[in-house]
Structures are given as structure tokens and as C-alpha cells.
Chains A and B, each alone.
Chain A
Amino acid sequence: MRVTFGVLNVLAALVLLVGLFVVQPRFWALDAPLSVIALVELISAVGLLAKLPWALRALTVSAWVTFVLGLLVVSLIIITMGFLRGIHGDFGTAALAVSGLIVALLVPYTVVLPGLQLLWLKRQPAEPRP
């Protein structure tokens, strides 16, 4: 599982970094949290793949940061959908489908993956203290 989570964290960080540096223009409100998530995921991936002693602690931090920020982002999108529905009324299934698709694309990376990592971490024996 260590290798699997290491690889998945590298992939998730790459997806975020591509989004961060390829999509223009820059916007600090998105850049800052995305950079934090990508950074902690990369650090934990290095730890997991290189079997370093602090790997599980790094994964714990990475999973919690991703999970909390992910829930926050998904919450903001859903609240925005609710707000716009209140303002514009029934604005059609297409807009709802597009917003739903965005949420559906985010959830696997920002909620499901860190959630699974947190569950797996619970079953791991504590790391020996240096």
C-alpha cells in the first residue's frame, strides 16, 4: 500500500501542479492552497517510495491537509450552486450537470483518496521514534 499511495500522491500532485502552472492567469486564492496540497503530497510520496522513517507521519499530514481543503473546496462549490439556484431559479439541467461534473471530478482526489489513506494509517503500527 505504501508504494500505491506514494504513486497516487505523485499523480495527484502532478495533476495539481499542471493545473497550477499551465492554466493562466495566476490567481493566488487558488494557487496558495493548491501549492500546499501538492507540496505535502510530494513530500509524503518521497517518504513512502523511499521508505523513509517519517513517511507515515508525512502521509498523515498530507491526507489531513488534502481532506480538509478538499471538503472546503467542494463545500464552496456546492454552496455556490445553491446560491445561484436561489438567485436564478431553475436554470436548467445543463448548468447543474456541469457543476455536478466538477464536484464529481474533485471528490476522488480531494475526499476519497485522503479518506482511504487516513483509514489505512489507522491500521499501521506507530513509527518508532528516532
Chain B
Amino acid sequence: MIKLEIGKGYEKEKIIVSKNEEIYVVGNSGGSLDLEVILEKEGASANIYGIVIGRGNDSYKIRTTSFHNAPNTNSRVHLKGVFMDSSSMDFFGMINIDKVAQLSDAYLKNDNLMIGEDCRVNSSPQLEIKADDVKASHGVTISTIDDEHMYYLMSRGISFSDSRDLLIEGFINEIKL
């Protein structure tokens, strides 16, 4: 297991995976990270989980690239962001499947919860697929807290800010650190 804390000297990381690896990315005060994960041996797999929280003027610049350079390799990227105040993030997430990497399976997901009135998110999930017998997909969601969820909690006597915190917690807890 590898843990990377954004803003703590991990600006550029290249991780070569020959068996399997779990990588956790955490961001709590902005910063940048350029993470390259290279699946080099047949059957290798990598799971990358990330949670970033922005407050005040925090800004994140995050780039992940999953290189599938061998057959039958597997990658998962799941990045969740919560943005308060005027925090922001630029995210670029590439899945690159080489011609030789048949039977590979790649997935990338980026979910963003927009809380602050002036928060801002740029998200760019990307696929470059040169082999045909593969599974590759990605998804992005960008939204704010659902009014109906807030209503449900508040109608049960929970205060506005507690309800909000509960929903944010629920959003983050999907990823187990």
C-alpha cells in the first residue's frame, strides 16, 4: 500500500506495478500531483483511491495516468472531491491501453461535490485505447448537495449544518481509507 499526501512533496510520482498495488491519495489543503501508474507485467492490477477536500482558496492540480503496457492488466481510479468556499480543482485522468495489452480492464471515476458559492472544478477524464479486446470506461459527476436529501434529514430535526455534514461524510465514506 502506498499513501500519497498531496502537497507533501509528492508532486510527481511514477509507480511501476508488476503484481498488484493499492494507492491512496489524500489532499487536505491544495497542491499538485502528477501520478503515473504503469502496469508492466501480465496480470498486474492497481487500485487508486483519492479524497481531496478544498477550503478557502485551496487549489488542486491532479493528473493521473494509468498505462496498461501488458496483457490482462486491471486498473481502478476513484477520486472524490469536496469543494468549499472558493476552492478549486483541475483534474486530468488518462487511461492508456497499449496495443499489446489485450484483455485489460480499466475504469476511472471522478465524483465532485460542490459546496462553496465560488468553488470551481475542471475535470477531464480521457481514454486512449489501442487494443480491441478490452474493457475501458470512465465517469464523472459534478453536483451540489441534493435539496431533497437535505429536506429529509432536516424534517427529522437535524440542523442545517449537521445535515450538510452528514451528507458530505456519506459522500466521502464511499471510499474506505
Tell me whether A and B are bound partners.
no
Q: Which B positions have Cβ atoms within 8 angstroms of A? A: none
Residues of A within 8 A of B (CB): none
